[in-house]
Amino acid sequence: MRIGFDAKRAVSNFTGLGNYSRFVISNLMTYYPDNIYKLFIPKLPEGTDMDNSQSEDIYSLKNTHKPFWRTMGIVKDIKKEHIDLYHGLSNELPFRINHSGVKSIVTIHDLIFLKYPEFYSMVDRMIYNTKAKYACRVADKIIAVSECTKRDIVEHYHIDPSKIEVVYQGCFPVFKERATAMKKEEVKRKYDLPENYLLSLGSIEERKNILLIVKALKQVPDIHFVAIGKRKEYADKVIQYAVENGLSDRVHLISKVPLTDLPAILQMARIFIYPSLYEGFGIPIIEALNSGVPVIGATGSCLEESGGPDSVYIDPANENELVFQINRLLSDAEIGRHMVEKGFEYVKQFSDDKCTRSLMTVYEELLT
């Protein structure tokens, strides 16, 4: 098969959507090397030499700075490369791809801009909705990253459920490796981590809801809270609450942590807490389960899918419920051990080979 990808985010974005794009592309190349993969990008990523024959084989380069190239200008390039199947990896497909003679698939990660519009500007909502709705309509197949996202697509865009396949995503292999005592001590000193802490990962923004954890600290003595992620304006609200309630010495907001340091930080945490109001899937929970940490997630979206039946889920608006679960896990080590053991088993379904096999099955069925 000749398979093409919208790879702009794969080479330029190093958060969620970029990580997903790299996860898909690299694993397909690893497990199914006999196919031909073309990565459509507007410009070459830094550090890549186009004189290298492998780069020429992989990248289909469009020297342009036009912001809508992926939407308006890419179809002729797809046809020029004789692509059998084009996969839009981040909620969009090119305009008129359905008239190109090329089969198309789009991955829809979430419709949070429709579920929680207050977290987005009006312009962003309009753009995201227009692109996702069009892609769902013209795609030959839709991949949803969770059953929750599939339900949202059916509800909001009235798409036939049979057109949508759920294909999960795994996490970086580094989270499956045990950090050495030396590495743990190194990151502990580097970030001035406390001895005993609760942990959350993800952008520090309103939707992630980490203020709930800070509020819970008032009723959970002798433990700190560490949040790692890019700071948004919401971080100021979290800090202000901590100061006003005498918790500032127990709340640590840390940004710009490289991937190589995250596994050690996760593995030293007592509990991983992810009280997000809404997610498309919840990769940080997968990372925590692989790291051997008990997980507390939130009800209301897809987190039960990523955390499995043996993780704990609380109402994201109920701090007392969170307090109860934190204290229960901290006071009963056996419960935590059971959760970790079951978590290791559950997370096996998100292995690279299983996720990639599921994706390839969708490809093959579409082209036969």
Q: What is the pLDDT of residues 275-306, one digit of tens each?
A: 999 999 999 999 999 999 999 999 999 999 99
Give residues with Cβ within 8 angstroms of 112, minimum separation 6: 119, 207, 278, 279, 280
Q: CA-CA distance, 143 to 272, in Å (whole number)?
A: 28
**Tokens for 250?**
């127990």
Top pLDDT among 25 and 51 is at 25
Find tokens 């990769």 and name the residue.
283
Q: Which helix (H) or strand (E) holds 85?
A: strand 85-88
Query: In whole angstroms, what is the distance from residue 293 CA to residue 310 CA?
Result: 12
Amino acid letter for position 215? K
Query: How far is residue 225's CA from residue 213's CA, in Å, rounded to a whole number?
Result: 8
Does this model's pTM top 0.75?
yes
* Dist CA 105 CA 362 (whole Å): 9
Burial code (b: 16+ CB inside 10 Å, e: under 16) for 127-165 equals ebbebbbbbbebbbbbbbbbebbbebbbeebebeeeebb
At residue 43 the predicted structure's pLDDT band, cuts being 50, 70 and 90, is low
153-210 tens-digit pLDDT: 999 999 999 999 999 999 989 999 999 999 999 999 999 999 999 999 999 999 999 9
Please name each of the domains of the chain with its CATH number: 2-170+351-367 (3.40.50.2000), 173-349 (3.40.50.2000)
Let me know how many helices (H) and strands (E) the chain has, helices first: 16, 13
In this predicted model, what pLDDT tens digit does every residue of 323-346 receive, in sequence order? 999 999 999 999 999 999 999 999
